[in-house]
Structure 1
Amino acid sequence: MSTLAVPDPADQRRPGADTRSVAVVIPIPSDPPWELFDEIPPEIPIIVSDDSDGRLTPPARPNVFFYDYAAQRAYAGEHYEAMPHKSAASRNIGHYIAYQEGFDVIVALDFDCRTRPGWLASHLAALSKVVEAPALAPTVPGGWVNSVNQTFADGQPVYARGYPYELRTPELAAVRETSATGEVKLNMGVWDGVLDLNGIDKFYGGEPGDPGVAEGANRIALGNVPVCGMNNAFAAELTPAYYFLPDVSVNGWQLSRHDDIWGGYVTKKLMDLRGDLFAFGVPVVEHTKQTRLERVVVLEQWMHLMSVPFYDLVDEAVAEVRPGPYAQMYAHFVEEFRGRVGSSRAPVHYRAVFAEFGDWMARWARAFA
């Protein structure tokens, strides 16, 4: 391990309490209002993926660990090349550090999300074994579960960022209530205030502000679900298969806002293969910042166009993977994915991007070999 100052899981083990050690990872490009994170207990380390590369003002909190690019390189060594920068995918290095240091649970949080009382306890309570827990399942093969239960002022349904437009009809978006038994390995808390929607949806429908979280226990998502990385907790064993994809260029046009959605699609497929469960609902954080919508629409353009061909490639690759440890499954998935890009029927510029993602994912897989 590196000689850098690193958080120690042993510092927070307490007799008589939940003995799982926890690290919170936040990618930060500029100084945030640190009071947003006041509900993070002082014994819980906050690992900051410093995307300003050393220009942040150190907070007056002993539980914060900053990693600028030099510190990231010093810690990760040859695997630094798997760590993206200048996007939300910069959080990967923080997850990697928390995993390597032996934390049991990793919490992904965005720098503009206000935590509330009971936030961490809700995440930990959700990461548990469940018996006949409430679940939602798509009614069509390959369907999706929407994490937002809300409508716009005109009565049209609100869909979470990343929910495919190709499936936004009453028939194709329908879900049925059912139940699920197993172990929840990833819990996705949602957000109010500024909802995590596609920019073009807000142009047409406005800002609902309320995600419409259902009462009672968190729902289990069976099938596909848009995975938002701004407020979720996961068992550390999932880390080798939970890779946020970097921003890349498509013919000079930036592809962005896909990092958690596309990376999470892969993770959810591998979780399904293992029989592990994905829950969503509480805790709810206040999302405090809205990026200018004109910019958001531009950044999301290629995500909308390329999502389904990407998912098709992922599905073909996952079909060849067998259940096992997550590092092993992810490495096999990446091998299959890369082998299929060249024969994909997607346009040539799509295939170039998918090949680039294959290279990034291969570097991540090698970091856990």
Structure 2
Amino acid sequence: MKFLNLIVKNAFRHKLRTILTILGLAITIMAFGIVRNILEVFSFSESDLIPGHLITTHKTSQMQFLPYSHIEKMRQVEGVKAATYGFFIGFRYGDDPEEFFMRMAIDQDNFYKIRTDWEVSEEDIEDFKNTTNGALITPHLKLKNGWEEGDVVTIGSDYFETLSLEVEIVGTLAFKREENQQLDMMFIRGDYFRRAIGQEVSPELEHQVGWIELLADPPDDAAEIAARVDSLFMNSDMETSTKPVNAYATAQIDRFRTIITALKVSSYLMIGVILLVLINTMSMVARERINENAVLKTLGFRARHLITLNFGESLFVAILGAILGAALIWPGIILFKALMPFLGQVKFEWITLAWVGPALVIVGILASLVPVIKAVRTSIVDGLRTVE
């Protein structure tokens, strides 16, 4: 600690260079933090999943629909406690690209029997069942758009571009998982959506669904029950693929594997950029202080003292950059979410700081190696002979 004052003065001897170095580190750390927080969106914990939750899609492609009649057949399978269905409707809302929220159609009579990760009041469930064109929205979407119960909203579909639906807001549906509470989503009645696409797109679509969700009992037999379900429709025109929700989620994430890998690689490269920025600064420091280090040696400073001074200066600059960069991560995430609404689920994760802290300590140590080696190896005579 006795060298702290000298370390701080040395660090700001060239104020502009030090400030620019700190800013460079901070911006890179902010970018690193944003990328790491985006990656957290693609992770999930087994504890967040519903035990025994199964997802059934068309075996050929998840984009193909399944017959509505499959649901009742699946309910007869031993081990299937409940069954429901859903449709993906779209994201875009109106012509404004800033208006962006997910819309789904769900089975109004059975969704709550399986989706225990959702919170809906009994009153809202009854209103949803009793309103032909009823819709539930997440609290965040309700707050964002200022919608209230009784409001009538016109929505469309990304898949069926000619489709136009008028829905009435009847209540809210919240997610229990904290990471999902900032999502903007709307859920409309499945039978209303099926009738609409049957009338406006194709009559046969009224008797189809996007996917089917099942609840296996007991949950430990989920894989076996999934196999039983798929065996029902084997060799038919509408074969199914039923997976436990964790396997289904992993398969969905695998679709973005290239993007995830690119983000991970870029985050590691950012650490390399931080290291290069700091090494460049400390290399200039080493060249400038050859003569000064020789003078310090004549005054009785030993190698360990010079190591402390150079390492301390490098670490001090790295820490300042880390503090500023960490402080910018949260505002950076807010800005990114405003510019790109599909990143609405991204939020600040404290685990990011667990990456930044050790990384900056390592960077500080590595960046100080050049000045430390030069300070220790240069003799007093050679150092005094050097002219800056």
TM-score normalised to structure 2 length: 0.19
The structure with the larger Rg is: 2
